[in-house]
Amino acid sequence: MKKLLAVLVSSFVIAMFSTATVTGCTVTSGQSTVGQYVDDATITARVKKRFAGDDKVSAMRISVETLKGVVELSGFAVSESEKNRAGEIAKAVPGVRAVRNNILIQPPRQ
């Protein structure tokens, strides 16, 4: 499952770069240049890829958004340690200026 997710993330990045080349890439709200948009997209993809390769973090339950190098994590973790680990992983990605960890704790239902 984690290898499948890594392939999907890689495919997403390739598709995004292809689209940026063909369409000129629209800069979204808050991003000043196409380069900033591409940098943010690259950071997001790298964080997701690292989540997919980590045994303690669920890449499927945690969303990643990046704006000007600031990564925002949201979604659900089953424990405080999973939430903290996700933040640590995001902080370790090159280009990340800050991490806003808005992940909520939702223990597994029994």
C-beta neighbour count of 53 within 10 angstroms: 14
Residue 78 CA to its chain's centroid (Å): 18
* Lowest mean pLDDT across 3-7, 54-58, 70-74, 98-102: 3-7
Between CA 101 and CA 77 the distance in angstroms is: 11
pTM over 0.75: no
pLDDT tens by residue, 41-67: 999 999 999 999 999 999 999 999 999
Vertex 74: Cα angle to 72 and 87 (nearest 5): 60
Going from N- to C-terminal start, the domains of the chain cover 2-105
Question: Nearest-CA neighbor of 46 among 100, 9, 86?
Answer: 9
